[in-house]
Chain A
Amino acid sequence: MTDSPTRTADTTGAVVFASIVTLVLSIALIWVIPTPGALDRLPDPPSGPDRVPAGPVARTFPKGCAISPGTVERLVGEPRMVKDGGRGVCAWSSRNGDDRSGRYLSISFELSLDAGATAYPNLLATGRAPLSAAMKSFGARWSDVAVQGVTGLGDEAVLQVSPSSGATVVTRVGNAKVVVQYSAGRLPMPEAAARDGAFTAAAEVATGLGARGPARPAVAPAARPAPSRTIPDLCAALSERTLRDLVGDDGAAEGSESRQTGLVAEGAKQRGCSWRTLDFDLQVAVAVVPGAGPFDGTRLAAREYAIRHIDARAEEPLSVRDRKYFHPVPGLGDEAFAAQIPGLVPGTVVFRDGDVLVRVTYEESDEREPLSGGKALRGAYAAALEIARALSAEHS
């Protein structure tokens, strides 16, 4: 049985009409639905547990400087209060001690509190949060007497002993830096007695401030010097494909190398490379943190990493409508985090590999056309992975 001509014409018309509709709809959908770009195809940085301490954070000096009258009595003997702690300093001296038996004990606190957001308009300044600010300000600043590392006391501690000023212990518990000084009135004091007295007072204060774990201060063994690592050519460390994905064909040709990155203080071995096009800005900075005083480079690099981790974690978005990205990243170096906050923190991945600290930032070149947080982080992570591989190859 064959169709009539009218029926054939009807069918042809319907097919033509349906084809036109399909074509128009396809064009419309292509127009409306964005094509997945290179950045969409890159993997998101994975998320892991956060192992960097978030406290304790003290807002006021502890009453009585967190030391018991009994301990003061035992260390000083008939103590008379010289300073009552109202301004963060307690001090006692022996009331009737002579030159031989007189003792002096002082405990001073320095709290790093919220500095106020406008104190840091430059988003990459470190020490913005109370904890990281305390870490930055921590450290012995004497040049003429050797400083010894101390274990089992607060988050970190050092000791200095000298015949003239007795024993001085500097420790940090969260955002509180504490300096304990224990000395004789006038005559020099035996080193062991001065050290043990200062340790006793510092342990009680650290516990009173909420330090994690029991306080059992002891002098740490001296750090062993480690062979210095070299930094590979960062501008050659990223593959062409990654550069094409991140900065496009314009920037894939070559990056711009720099020897000063601002990543850590001057004196560290460091290299940087940046790729900047009309649309994107990718920057990589690597520093080998040298050992200093009683601490080796790995320990100090871990401090530098923690400062940046704490800062990024504490940073608040400019608006409640903004989405903040921050999470630790497992499997990248010894420790790593990824962060992005609109208008404040570009797509950033920071990681530490031994004594090497790495920072990768990825963002738009034109602030008027911001890159989404997800894309910025994927881009930074892709570059960070390749930098990590280049570092491993250089180290092996």
Chain B
Amino acid sequence: MSDSGPPGPAPRWWTGRGRQAAAGTIALVLAVSVAVAVAASRDRAPEGISDGPLLTAPAGADRVPAGRVVTKLPRNCGVSAATAARLAPGADRDAEKGNVFRQGGPGSCMWYSLDDGKAKCGFCVGDFRNERVLYVDITLSTGRLQAPITEAMQALTPAEPNRAANPDPPALVEGLGEEATARYSAEIETEGAVVDFRVGNAVVSVRYKGWDDVRGRRRTIPEKTALDGALAAAAETAKSMGTTARPVLSAVKNPVTPPLRTIPKPCDTVADPTVDKVARGAYRRRGSATLLTMAAPAGMSVDACTWNARTSRYSGEGRTRTLTVSLAVAGERLPGLGAFNATRQFLGVYQNQRAGKSPGADAFTGFTPLTGPGERAFAVTKVQRSASDGDVGIVIFQKRNVLVEVAYRGADEDVPLTGKRLVDSAYTVAVAVERSLR
């Protein structure tokens, strides 16, 4: 060990202001070096593709009632002889045996009255004072591809391209079956009042129309007369089927649940730290829903975001993770209607999955009701169709007027991910999505 001896005088540039300048320069160099190091580390590709931690999807009790499945049709479509006689005087008492125009039959009833029932001809010619016709049709959904109740829901409101564009949409009816609407028209083709309602898997359509001769011209019966008549007959049909039968027109859908005020874009529903748990380093694209495909034809607006993470630029190589968040939002045409329609669509998908049915070619397994997130939720796994496709873990939940579907799949090299991990990944993301909806 050598002794360097007593320190000599420091160089002048290292003293006083010189030392301060040097110290400042060194600090600057260090700061720049740190910045360079940080910048360099940022340029590096993120390691790993998915590392959790994941939440465990909490299974819960199945609280959705099985729903009524009607198998037997009420005689005379449930309409009493007194009501039929009041609405269509002189018509055949037994609508199911047929009458002057056509054969009737179970679930397809018609009462026809011409000239207060005094005319008894098939194709009458002449001057008459009035005409009244009451039709009741009951259709039972059997559920070939879907659950019977889901099928009946779709039959009640079939998808039509411009359904939402009707400036006079059907009025809401409450107290009649599980859901009901009414409308009136003076046009020739559908004149009169039509009341449509659903009881479980049964869809009922009641139409009441007629005209009165006024100074040689046929005047269609007034709206109130037509609606009161159709609602009276509908109430009896509903009662005969053992369901609610006190119909009233309503301007709101009770209970009125307000719609969500904040609904982000699907790509903005999940914060980066959550995405990093299941698909770190992913790039985003527009996605498409797996099970919420029924929502768009039903008038809900649907949008989806997909996060793709992969370790190789070539498909079928390396590790991949794909996360898709789909939102279906029901509009609030009338107070409470948005949440009601979202609930209805959720239950339609729920009942299909519970019954093990699907309208498409996809197969699903592992249906599990969940305790959350949102007001009602379930998990299911879409089964791969070929070795190259991976299973898809799916969590669907409802929050007020919004339905959310989170789908997750992945593969390590050519081995697709399977099992509970997929559902837990989807659930982990679903919890984050629920928090973004307010």
Q: Which residues of A contact B (CB under 8 A)?
A: 6-7, 9-11, 13-14, 17-18, 21, 24-25, 28-29, 31-32, 58-63, 80-88, 109-111, 113-114, 116-121, 123, 278, 316, 318-321, 342-344, 365-368, 370
Contacts and interface: CB of A to CB of B under 8 A. Distances in A.
A84 B185 contact: yes
Interface in B298-313: 301-305, 308, 310, 313
Interface of B: 11-14, 18, 22, 25, 28-29, 32-33, 35-36, 39-40, 45, 160-162, 164-168, 183, 185-189, 264-268, 281, 283-289, 296, 301-305, 308, 310, 313, 326
A123 B167 contact: no
Contact of B187 (A13, A59, A82, A344): A82
A85 B161 CA distance: 15
A212 B166 CA distance: 24
A222 B301 CA distance: 43
A118 B304 contact: yes
A367 B285 CA distance: 10
A287 to B, nearest CB: 26
A81 B265 contact: no
A367 B36 CA distance: 26
Given A31-B36, A118-B302, A11 B187 contact: no
A171 B181 CA distance: 34
A25 B28 contact: yes
Contacts of A81: 186-188
A109 B165 CA distance: 10
A13 B267 contact: no
B188 A80 contact: yes
* B interface, over-half SS: mixed
Sort A-B residue pairs by CB-CB distance and give the 7 closest, nearest first.
Answer: A84-B187, A14-B13, A318-B267, A10-B12, A319-B267, A28-B32, A117-B303
A278 to B, nearest CB: 8
A83 B189 contact: yes
A344 B285 CA distance: 7
A191 B299 CA distance: 42
B165 A61 contact: yes
B265 A318 contact: yes
A156 B22 CA distance: 77
Contact of A59 (B165, B185, B265): B165
A15 to B, nearest CB: 9
A316 B265 CA distance: 10
Contact of B36 (A17, A18, A28, A111): A28
Contacts of A109: 162, 165
Nearest to A59: B165
A278 B313 CA distance: 9
A86 B189 CA distance: 12
A9 to B, nearest CB: 7
B32 A25 contact: yes
A21 B29 contact: yes
Nearest to A25: B32
Contacts of A111: 162, 165
Contacts of A84: 185-187
- Find the residue from B186, B284, B302, B326 having the highest chain A CB count within 10 A: B284
A344 to B, nearest CB: 6
Contacts of A9: 11
Contacts of B36: 28, 31-32
B301 A320 contact: no
A121 B283 contact: no
A13 B14 CA distance: 9
Contacts of A17: 13, 22, 25
B13 A13 contact: yes
Given A111-B162, A113-B164, A367-B308, 8 more contacts: A60-B166, A81-B187, A87-B166, A111-B165, A113-B162, A318-B266, A342-B284, A370-B283
B296 A367 contact: no
Nearest to B293: A118
Contacts of B302: 116-118
Given A86-B168, A368-B313, A343 B35 contact: no
24 contacts: A25-B28, A29-B32, A31-B36, A31-B39, A32-B36, A61-B162, A63-B167, A82-B187, A84-B186, A86-B187, A113-B162, A116-B301, A117-B286, A121-B286, A123-B286, A316-B265, A318-B266, A318-B267, A319-B267, A319-B284, A343-B284, A343-B286, A367-B283, A370-B283
B13 A10 contact: yes
Contact of A318 (B164, B187, B188, B305): B305
A28 B34 CA distance: 10
